[in-house]
Amino acid sequence: MSNKSGSTSKRTFSPAATSIALIVSMAGAIPSSALAKDELNALVWCDHTDTALIEPFEKANNVKVNLKEYEGTGAAFSIIDQSRPGDWDVFVIDGVDVPRAVEAGILSEIPAGKLNTADFFPEVVMEANNTSNGKIYAVTEKFGYNTISYDKTKVDPEDMKDMTKVWSDKYAGRVAIYDYYLPVIGLVGLGAGINTADITEVNMPIIKENLFALKAASKLVGDVVSSQTALATGEVDILVGGGEWVTAVLSADKPNLDWVIPKQGGLRWSQSIGVMKDSKNKDLAIKFVQYITSPEGQAKLATSSCFWGMPANKKAGELLTAAQKAALRWDNQPEYLGNSQLYPVPSADLDDLMQDVWTEMLQN
Amino acid sequence: MSSASIEKSETRKAWCFVAPALAWTVAFFVLPFAFMAAVSFASRVSRQTVYSWDLGNYINFFSKSYLLKGLFVSLEITLLVTVISVLLAYPLAWIIAERVPRRWQRAALILAILPFWTSYVVRSYSWLLVLSENGVINNLLLDIGIISEPLQIASSTTATVIGFVHFFVMLLTLTIYSNLIQLSPNYKRAAFDLGANAFQTFWHVILPLTLPGIMVGAFLTFVLCIGDYITPQILGGNNELVLPQIIMLQLGRRADIPTAAALSIVLMAVVTIAYLLCLRWLKMERT
């Protein structure tokens, strides 16, 4: 009887009911983000593309965040140059390059009351960079170091503390270079005793000579993923320009990888996040900035799948595990902050010269 | 209806048929090309593009050795890849056309072009793993004692050439096979009847008759190889950049569209010269 009634009920299902059921079941299969009302377009470094970071914001605000990743401020400006005004809402940019973005008129002022940097590491608030004429244009979200990453089972860790030994004959052919001209030129400059702020057209020949020596000892020059892969797979034993952003993310699987700030010093990278001036969705963009700089967003950003880095907000430490903090060297930050310099901030002409030298180095 | 009006109507009809293709070519080739050519004479001052008519970008190309070297590296790799691919593809196509039974030829061709079914990028990354220090090739050579230290093949021009050859052998096999399969067996029979041995038949009869197929494949290889960015970027390890990589650097890092346009024009000029050389050669074959 029950079988019979069951079959009868199947037969009497109307096409309309079937269609509704189909639509409902399909709607269940569509990610909630696809049904969202708003969209936010963000130009970011790859660490922001981690679903674990973005999804909570999307769900909480019923919004779809479209992310376009890039490497290097030049690349970002190139993308913006080729976009229409209003295409981008949020911009993640190297901290030292915020003034350049402000000067280009692409960042919007963020009302002071909307951001709270009281719990940030004071050294990375970088007010001089993130503000202009008393107006806030960006806020630091993450920082770390471009130094020397290495495989401690294959090289002498003591050698890694001296930059001149890193690209000596001893390690020739076992070195990779991170393919970003600013930090590596800065690092090579430090090796030659030139502070990043003192790099000029006059001392570039010295840096060029050292850079070419480094290239002669290296095996490859790679972006974030390929240089990280080369170190992780044993293709190379040393990564110049690496740091916690390379090794910390692999700390559980590859405990043989380590990093150090050499005695000559290291470079401190920092990312700032701001809202685009032509954004059509500024309120939501500010909300996104607030989320990223909140302890929750900061903890997720610090341990993002693409690369790890120190959160600017100290409160994120409460949400990180002891192992994560150890991999980030949380307790060593006062020492590291003291022994690191910011990226060089070249003028347009010096930037052209640096990029010429970099391309020539690649071709050498 | 007079013959003049019929002719006029036919001409109008012909234009109607040609117009869509013509409009497409003008919209998506002629105009963008003209725009690119015009931009190549602009310059970049303090991170801004200044539209002008000067030859600065072209002068830079010939005066900055690392830019010029990009062209030489591109030509070197492209010529090497083309020659090696032809040398490998011809015997493969010949075996499929001449030695494999007809009913199995389709299957043999599918096997030959099977790697085409994989993504180009994935294939390049796969080669990176195969050629790496801990990859299949080094492990094999170390295990059988041919080498005592791993060879540094990955992240080099050699790796780029290997990646390209793997791809283009498939392409050339198809073009040469299609040429071989169309040859009448009577040519071979006639050559044997006239006393030629197998080598003489191949050298004096088969090879000249299949040269158009080789040239078409070689030209396609040349064009695709010299303009490729992905394989050198993944397998070359940023050591010795090819011209497309340098063009990408101008666009991606400096937003220097004028220099990128000038370099692209140079690249197009090289391809045009290669085309004219091939065209001339093919015409000679036809006479």
If one counts every other C-beta atom within 10 angstroms of the C-beta of residue B112, the result is: 19
> Is B178 exposed, middle or buried (CB count within 10 Å of its CB: 0-12, 13-18, 19+)?
middle
CA distance B129 to chain A (A): 9
Best B43, B47, B64 residue to mutate vs chain A (most A CBs within 10 Å): B47
> What mean pLDDT comes out for the span B240-263?
92
In a domain, A16, yes or no: no
In this predicted structure, the answer to whether residue A53 has a pLDDT above a threshold of 90 is yes
Best B69, B155, B160 residue to mutate vs chain A (most A CBs within 10 Å): B155
Per-residue pLDDT at B263:
97
CA-to-CA dists, residue A35 to A5, A53, A58, B24, B269, angstroms? 38, 19, 11, 37, 49
pTM for this one?
Answer: 0.81
* Domain housing A179: 144-268+341-363
In a domain, A15, yes or no: no
Per-residue pLDDT at A345:
87
Residue A107 contacts residue A274 (beta carbons within 8 Å) = yes
Rounded CA separation A18/A13 (Å): 7
Per-residue pLDDT at A24:
42
Best A69, A70, A78, A215 residue to mutate vs chain B (most B CBs within 10 Å): A78
User: How much is the CA Rg of chain A, to the nearest whole Å?
Assistant: 24
Q: Are residues A233 and A305 in the same domain?
A: no
Nearest to A92, CA basis, from A260, A304, A321, A242:
A304
CA distance A118 to chain B (A): 35
Q: Tell if the CB–CB gap between B46 and A348 is shorter than 8 Å.
A: yes
Determine phi and psi for B43, rounding to 5 degrees: -135, 170
Residue in chain A lying closest to B68 (CA) = A363
CA distance A182 to chain B (A): 12
Nearest to A223, CA basis, from B164, B155, B161:
B155
Q: Are residues A315 and A209 in the same domain?
A: no
Residues for chain A: how many in total? 364
Residue in chain A lying closest to B235 (CA) = A220
Please tell me the total count of domains within chain A. 2
Q: Tell if the CB–CB gap between A235 and B154 is shorter than 8 Å.
A: yes
Residue in chain A lying closest to B256 (CA) = A78
Q: How far is CA A351 from the centre of its chain?
A: 21
Q: Are residues A174 and A157 in the same domain?
A: yes
| Angle ∠(B71,B72,B75) on CA atoms, nearest 5 | 85
**The pairing of beta strand B48-50 with beta strand A38-44:** unpaired
In this predicted structure, the answer to whether residue A295 has a pLDDT above a threshold of 70 is yes
In a domain, A333, yes or no: no
Percent of chain A with pLDDT over 90: 73
Q: Which residue is associated with the tokens 């915020």?
A: A98
What token pair was written down for A355? 């990029």
Q: Tell if the CB–CB gap between A173 and B152 is shorter than 8 Å.
A: yes
In this predicted structure, the answer to whether residue A32 has a pLDDT above a threshold of 90 is no
CA distance A360 to chain B (A): 5
Per-residue pLDDT at A249:
81
Chain A segment 286-345 residues within 8 A of B by beta carbon are none
Instruction: Tell me which of B252 and A146 has the higher pLDDT.
Output: A146
> What mean pLDDT comes out for the span B7-27?
92
In a domain, A235, yes or no: yes
Q: At what angle do helices B157-182 and B120-131 cross, to 10 degrees?
A: 120
Neighboring chain A residues of B254 at a CB cutoff of 8 Å: 74, 78, 352, 355
Neighboring chain B residues of A359 at a CB cutoff of 8 Å: 66, 241, 246, 249
User: How much is the CA Rg of chain B, to the nearest whole Å?
Assistant: 24
Best A185, A235, A345 residue to mutate vs chain B (most B CBs within 10 Å): A235
**The pairing of beta strand A340-342 with beta strand A266-275:** parallel
> What mean pLDDT comes out for the span B248-259?
88
Q: Tell if the CB–CB gap between A233 and B132 is shorter than 8 Å.
A: yes
Chain A segment 56-75 residues within 8 A of B by beta carbon are 72, 74-75
In this predicted structure, the answer to whether residue A312 has a pLDDT above a threshold of 90 is yes
Name the band, by pLDDT with cuts 50, 70 and 90, for residue A62.
Answer: very high
Q: Where are the beta strands (DSSP E) in A103-227?
A: 131-132, 135-136, 138-151, 175-178, 218-222
* Domains of chain B, start order: 65-286 (1.10.3720.10)
Q: Are residues A151 and A245 in the same domain?
A: yes
In a domain, A150, yes or no: yes
Q: Is B135 helix (H, G, I), strand (E, B) or coil?
A: coil
Q: Is the dihedral of CA B13, B15, B21, B24 positive or negative?
A: negative
A356–chain B Cβ distance below 8 A for any pair: yes
In this predicted structure, the answer to whether residue A158 has a pLDDT above a threshold of 80 is yes
> Is B149 exposed, middle or buried (CB count within 10 Å of its CB: 0-12, 13-18, 19+)?
exposed
Name the band, by pLDDT with cuts 50, 70 and 90, for residue A276.
Answer: very high
Residue in chain A lying closest to B133 (CA) = A235
Q: How does the average pLDDT of chain B come out, rounded? A: 91
**What confidence tens digit (pLDDT) does each residue in A186-202 have?**
999 999 999 999 999 99
Q: Tell if the CB–CB gap between A359 and B69 is shorter than 8 Å.
A: no
Q: Are residues A172 and A250 in the same domain?
A: yes
| DSSP per-residue letters across A51-74 | HHHHHHHHHHHTEEEEEEE-SSHH
Nearest to A94, CA basis, from A80, A74, A114:
A74
Q: Are residues A60 and A174 in the same domain?
A: no
Residues in chain B whose Cβ is within 8 Å of chain A: 46-47, 64-66, 69-70, 73, 132-134, 152, 154-155, 234, 237-241, 246, 249, 251-255, 257
In a domain, A21, yes or no: no
Residue A142 contacts residue A270 (beta carbons within 8 Å) = yes
Q: Tell if the CB–CB gap between A221 and B238 is shorter than 8 Å.
A: yes
CA-to-CA dists, residue A53 to A36, A49, A269, B178, B266, angstroms? 18, 8, 20, 53, 45
Rounded CA separation A163/A188 (Å): 8
In this predicted structure, the answer to whether residue B284 has a pLDDT above a threshold of 60 is no
Question: Looking at this predicted complex, what is its ipTM?
Answer: 0.81
> Is B59 exposed, middle or buried (CB count within 10 Å of its CB: 0-12, 13-18, 19+)?
exposed
A179–chain B Cβ distance below 8 A for any pair: yes
Per-residue pLDDT at A92:
97
What token pair was written down for B203? 């050298």
Rounded CA separation B254/B257 (Å): 8
Residue in chain A lying closest to B238 (CA) = A221
Neighboring chain A residues of B133 at a CB cutoff of 8 Å: 234-235
User: Which member of A74, A220, A234 has the closest CB to residue B238?
Assistant: A220
Q: What is the largest distance, in Å, between two alpha-carbon atoms of chain B?
A: 88
What token pair was written down for A239? 């990564």
CA-to-CA dists, residue A29 to A32, A35, A37, A87, A293, angstroms? 9, 11, 18, 29, 32
Residues 6 or more apart in contact with residue A173 via CB below 8 angstroms: A217, A218, A219, B152
A348–chain B Cβ distance below 8 A for any pair: yes
Instruction: Tell me which of A249 and B142 has the higher pLDDT.
Output: B142
CATH code, domain carrying A276: 3.40.190.10
Q: Are residues A183 and A231 in the same domain?
A: yes
Neighboring chain B residues of A82 at a CB cutoff of 8 Å: 255
A173–chain B Cβ distance below 8 A for any pair: yes
Nearest to B70, CA basis, from B244, B223, B248, B235:
B244
User: Which member of B70, B255, B257 has the closest CB to residue A74?
Assistant: B255
Q: Is A313 helix (H, G, I), strand (E, B) or coil?
A: strand
Q: Are residues A63 and A166 in the same domain?
A: no
Residue A304 contacts residue A225 (beta carbons within 8 Å) = no
Name the band, by pLDDT with cuts 50, 70 and 90, for residue B144.
Answer: very high
Q: Which residue is associated with the tokens 């952003």?
A: A245
Q: Tell if the CB–CB gap between B134 and A78 is shorter than 8 Å.
A: no
**What confidence tens digit (pLDDT) does each residue in B89-104 have?**
999 999 999 999 989 9
Q: Are residues A235 and A358 in the same domain?
A: yes
Q: Are residues A346 and A220 in the same domain?
A: yes
Residue B106 contacts residue B100 (beta carbons within 8 Å) = no
Q: Is the dihedral of CA A298, A302, A305, A306 positive or negative?
A: positive
Residue B266 contacts residue B243 (beta carbons within 8 Å) = yes
Q: Are residues A222 and A358 in the same domain?
A: yes
Q: Are residues A247 and A294 in the same domain?
A: no
What token pair was written down for A267? 């470079």
Per-residue pLDDT at A270:
95
In a domain, A7, yes or no: no
Q: Tell if the CB–CB gap between B253 and A355 is shorter than 8 Å.
A: yes
In a domain, A1, yes or no: no
Residues for chain B: how many in total? 287
Q: Tell if the CB–CB gap between A362 and B155 is shorter than 8 Å.
A: no
Q: At what angle do helices B31-39 and B257-286 cross, to 10 degrees?
A: 130
